[in-house]
Amino acid sequence: MKSPCPQHPHPHRLIQQPLSDLTEKLRQGELKITAPRQAILDVLRRHACPLTTKEIHRSLGKSDCDLATVYRNMHTLEGMGLVRRHDFGDGAARFELSSDEGEGHHHHLVCTRCSRIVELDDCILGDFQERLAQRHGFTSISHRMEFFGICPNCRGA
């Protein structure tokens, strides 16, 4: 299967978190700033859409970081809230950097044939989310939403 990530960066990804800010979050979480963790965060900040652990490993190139190290670090980074896991129903967990304070909030449109992912910046759920929170007495709520369909390339195939 080809990589689901488009070759061009998505507009909200053009405003990337500096690697130094990400490593500072590791330091605040009292974790060692290891070369593999820095390399993984650097890969994630440069990609336009969520990546599988294997795609992250491939993007690291010829490094001393093996696939098991990537898996362990993804679990750690997810637990710290630095990365967000997505499940698009194809059995492969995908990861992307978590956004700070709602910046970069987006949803995904996923092709069910080739797994191409399109990031959607539009969100019509903000007001609805607030009404739900007020109605049920919740605070600090969030949501995720994915849409599934067949992309133009697969439709023509």
Q: How confident is the model at residue 150 (pLDDT cuts 50, 70, 90)?
A: very high
What is the model's pLDDT at position 30?
66
Flag whether pLDDT at 14 surpasses 60: no
Choice among 40-54, 96-110, 138-152 with the minimum mean pLDDT:
96-110
CATH 3.30.1490.190 residue window(s) in the chain: 100-157
Higher pLDDT, 129 or 33: 129
Q: Is the dihedral of CA 8, 77, 37, 88 positive or negative?
A: negative
Q: How far is CA 149 from the centre of its chain?
A: 20
CATH classification of 17-98 is 3.40.190.10, yes or no? no
pLDDT averaged over every residue in the chain:
77
Higher pLDDT, 107 or 28: 107
The string of pLDDT tens digits covering residues 69-128 is 999 999 988 888 888 888 887 788 889 887 654 445 677 788 888 888 887 777 778 788
CATH 1.10.10.10 residue window(s) in the chain: 17-98
- The angle, 0 to 180 degrees and rounded to 10, between the axes of the packed helices 53-60 and 35-45 is 110
- Superfamily the domain 100-157 falls into: Ferric-uptake regulator, C-terminal dimerisarion domain (3.30.1490.190)
